[in-house]
Amino acid sequence: MEQVTDHILAAARKVIAVHINYPSRAAQRGRTPEQPSYFLKPSSSLALGSAAAPSTVERPAGCELLGYEGEIALIIGKTARRVGLEDAWSHVEWVTASNDLGVYDLRYADKGSNLRSKGGDGFTPVGPGLIAAEAVDPAKLRIRTWHNGELVQDDTTGDLLFPFARLVADLSQLLTLEEGDIILTGTPAGASVAKPGDVVEVEVSATTGGAAGGGLTGAALTTGRLVTLVEEGTTPFADFGARPKTDDLQREEAYGSREAAGLAAAQPSGMPGLSPELKAKLESVCTATLSSQLRKRGLNNVSIDGLTSTRPERRIVGLARTLRYVPNREDLFTTHGGGFNAQKKAIDSVNEGEILVMEARGEKGTGTIGDILALRAQVRGAAAIITDGGVRDFTAVAAMDMPTYYANPHPAVLGRRHIPWDTDITIACGGTTVQPGDIIVADADGILVIPPALAHELADDSIAQEQEETFIAEMVQQGHSVDGLYPLNAAWRTRYQEWEAGKAHD
Distance, in Å, from the CA atom of 65 to the CA atom of 244, rounded to the nearest integer, reads 10
Position 272 scores a pLDDT of 53
Check: CB of residue 271 under 8 Å from CB of residue 319. yes
**DSSP type of residue 3:** B
Distance, in Å, from the CA atom of 363 to the CA atom of 369, rounded to the nearest integer, reads 13
Q: What is the pTM of this model?
A: 0.56
Distance, in Å, from the CA atom of 9 to the CA atom of 385, rounded to the nearest integer, reads 56
What pLDDT, in 10s, does the model give residues 292-351? 999 999 999 999 999 999 999 999 999 999 999 999 999 888 888 888 888 998 998 888
Q: Where are the domains of the chain?
A: 6-255, 276-452, 456-505
Q: 146: which residues sit within 8 A by CB, 6+ positions away?
A: 152, 199, 200, 201, 202, 225
Distances (CA, A) of 206 to 98, 111, 209, 323: 15, 37, 9, 47
Check: CB of residue 135 under 8 Å from CB of residue 114. no
Position 273 scores a pLDDT of 64
Position 307 scores a pLDDT of 97
Alpha helices in 81-188 (DSSP H): 85-88, 115-118, 164-172
Instruction: Report the percent of the chain where pLDDT is more than 70.
Output: 94
Position 163 scores a pLDDT of 96
User: What number is the average pLDDT over the span 463-488?
Assistant: 92
- With residue 39 as reference, give the H or E element that holds it: strand 38-41
CA 206, chain centre distance (Å):
31
| pLDDT confidence band for 280 (50 / 70 / 90) | very high
Helices (H) and strands (E) in the chain, counts: 14, 31
Residue 113 has pLDDT above 80, yes or no: yes
89 or 265, greater pLDDT:
89
- Is the CATH number of domain 276-452 3.50.30.40? yes
Position 267 scores a pLDDT of 47
Distances (CA, A) of 51 to 47, 226, 380, 476, 486: 14, 7, 60, 64, 56
Position 500 scores a pLDDT of 83
What pLDDT, in 10s, does the model give residues 64-111? 999 999 999 999 999 999 999 999 999 999 999 999 999 999 988 887
Residue 269 has pLDDT above 50, yes or no: no
Neighbours of 360 (CB within 10 A): 28
Which region among 105-114, 155-164, 414-423, 462-471 has the lowest average model confidence (pLDDT)? 105-114
What pLDDT, in 10s, does the model give residues 120-173? 999 999 999 999 999 999 999 999 999 999 999 999 999 999 999 999 999 999
CATH T-level fold of 6-255: Fumarylacetoacetate hydrolase; domain 2 (3.90.850)
What pLDDT, in 10s, does the model give residues 188-229? 999 999 999 999 999 999 975 444 333 444 458 999 999 999
Q: What is the mean pLDDT of the chain?
A: 90
Instruction: Report the percent of the chain where pLDDT is more than 90.
Output: 73
363 or 250, greater pLDDT:
363
